[in-house]
Every structure is written in C-alpha cells, then in structure tokens.
Amino acid sequence: MGRGSRPHDAYPTAPPRPPSRWVSWLVPVFLVANVAAFAATMYVNDCPKNARVPSLCVWREQLGRFAFQPPRENPLFGPSTATLLKMGGLDVNKVVHDHQQWRLISSIWLHGGVIHLLANMLSLLFIGIGLEQEFGFLRIGPLYIISGIGGSVLSALFNKSSISVGASGALFGLLGSLLSELITNWTVYANKCSALMSLVFIIAINLAIGILPRVDNFAHVGGFISGFLLGFVLLMRPQFGYVSRNNAPIGYPTYTAKRKHKIYQYVLWIIGAILLVVGFAVGLIMLFRGENGYEHCSWCHYLSCVPTRFWSCNQQQPPSTCTTSQLGNNWNLTCSGSGKTQSYVLQNATEYRIYELCTELCS
C-alpha cells in the first residue's frame, strides 16, 4: 500500500447495489375489494325482484338477481341509485344531517356499473402496481385511502343533488402523487423535462374528461390535490448520489457520500403537510356546517362542467326529492323539481324503495 493512500483504494469497488423493489400485493387486494363490493351491490340490488318492470332488467335470464338495471335508468350496466345509497354511496344530507360520516370512505369502494368499474380498475393496475413496487404498501395504502376521502369531501361540498360513488378520487390521488414525486425527486430523473411533460399531458387529459356533463369532477380534483400534497410527504427519495450503508459494497467510500435529502425536499415536505392538514380541516368544518361550496367560489362550477354548443351544464340531474302521501298500500309521489306525479301500489314500502321510485320519477 503506497504512502498516503486510503484503505478503500486497495479494492476495485463495485457500484452500490440498487435498492430492492417491493412486491405489489396491496393494489391487487384493493382491486379484489372493489370487485367484491360491486358483486355485493348487485346481489342486494336484485333487479328482477325490485324493478317496477322486471322484464326490462338487462340479462335477467342469464344473471338472475345480478341482472343490471334498465339502460334508461343506468347506462353503465349497474345497480339502481337506491341500492348505491343503501350500500354506502355518498349522500350529503345523510353525511351532514344523519351523521353518517362513514359514507366519505364507503363510497370510494362502490361503482355505478360494470363500465365504471372496469375503467377504474384498469387505471388502478396501470398506476398503482408500479407505485407500490417503488415505494411499498405502507406509503401507497394511506395515499390511496386519504386521496379518496379528499375527493369525497370536495364532492360533498359542491355536489349536493346526487349520489356519488367510485374510486376516481383515489386514482386521481395516485396521479397527483406521481407529479409531486417527480418534483421533489427531481435530481433522480435523467430525462426530467420529458417525464414532466408526459405526466402533465396525461393528467390534463384525465381532468379534461371531468368537464363533461354528469361527471363528478370535484371528486377528481379533490383526490388529485390530496394526492399531490401527500406525494411530497410520503414519496420523498434520497437525492442522486446518496449511498445507503446497507447498499454500499465493502470498501465503498461512504464518507464522501452526499446528504440523504436536499433542503428543498424538506421544505416541500413541510409545505405539503401543512397544506394537507389545513385543507382537510377547513373542508370538513365547512361540510359538517352544511355550507355550500359555491357560496365561496362562484366560478367553481367550471371545474365540473364547461358549457359548449354540444351540451348544456344546466341539464344536470335534478335533486331526487318527492312529496309523498299514503292511503293503505297506495302511494302518491310528486317530484319536487318537475312537479310530475305518479301513483304506486306498494306493500311493505321501505325508505330505499320510495327513494328509488322518486329518482325514476324525477329523472
């Protein structure tokens, strides 16, 4: 060994070992849970038994009680609105006035139909598998759930007239986390601008779909913002050039290694955490006070629907509320929005059955 040489110079060291990737198991569990929830919803729905005209149920002979509602009622091939409400769909009145806050979580596991379910589950696999392999289930699990709740909160603040279901808020949270992960881990990426432009383009396309009528884009935006802020908190990587002692080969000069994180990463972590906590606190306080988001943001309706010459944003589904009168088994329902009246003969009528008929009458 020559004079003045360091011990590590005697070894032709190999490059540091890359960190191992996680095995993705939580995202497939989420997928199974969503599919199981949809199957349970269709079992409870039992269109041939509960529909006013059973012969209109889609694939009644082949699927039995799992048959879909008539396309005129649900073009996504799924259950009735009343069943979604019964299974835990997001209804602002029940969350605020009946203290059923659990609907903010249960609604993210329900879907309006097969088409809705397939679209969301393909997105979950496409985005979620890679994220879990890279960051592990302890980060992706809370990211998915909290983003879904964030989407539910914003949806409940603005969408007062219909039932909201779907994992879209959680999925947009995963998209938002991809963007913040790219920003906070900027030094790790080789083709930075290319990765940023590609990701922004994908996000813009998905958010743009939400400005179509009858799409709850507030759940998308709420989930995206929640995931974007959570990404700064949960997905921070060591900076480029940092070598963990666990991954360094024998003789590697660890004393020359860089600091684990850059200062700006800690700054973004703090800002993201503060904005996330404050945003959830303000949103939940406004929600449980029964406030309408439009009273504080008059232009926010453009986030959910932009009128064009091809469609009108005024053609949203009216609130499904009816006045009722009963004489024996005869029920008379009058839609509060349109004034239409219909009489029904019902035995052992339940709240959900009345709601289902009211929805059909008002649609």
The distance of Cα 106 from the centroid of its chain, to the nearest Å, equals 11
pTM of the prediction?
0.81
Asked whether the predicted pLDDT for residue 307 surpasses 70, the reply is yes
Query: Binning pLDDT at 50, 70 and 90, where does residue 55 land?
Result: confident
In angstroms, rounded to a whole number, what is the distance separating the alpha carbons of residues 233 and 184? 10
**In terms of pLDDT, which residue wins out, 351 or 304?**
304
Q: What are the structural domains of the chain?
A: 26-303 (1.20.1540.10), 322-362 (no CATH)
- Annotated catalytic sites, by residue? 168, 220
Of 48-62, 71-85, 326-340, give the lowest mean pLDDT range.
Answer: 326-340
Q: Is the dihedral of CA 241, 247, 253, 254 positive or negative?
A: positive
Single-letter amino acid, residue 214: R
Q: Considering the chain, what is the average pLDDT of its residues?
A: 83
Q: Could you give the count of Cα atoms lying within 13 Å of 181 in the half-sphere of its Cβ?
A: 19
pLDDT tens profile 169-218: 999 999 999 999 999 998 777 777 877 888 888 888 877 776 765 678 89
Specify the pLDDT at position 129: 94
Residue 165 in contact with residue 195, Cβ under 8 Å?
Answer: no
Specify the pLDDT at position 57: 92
In angstroms, rounded to a whole number, what is the distance separating the alpha carbons of residues 108 and 160? 17
Cα–Cα distances in angstroms (integers) from residue 49 to residues 8, 39, 44, 65, 175, in the given order: 78, 17, 10, 7, 41
- Report CA dihedral (189, 193, 196, 197) to the nearest 10 degrees: -150
Specify the pLDDT at position 312: 65
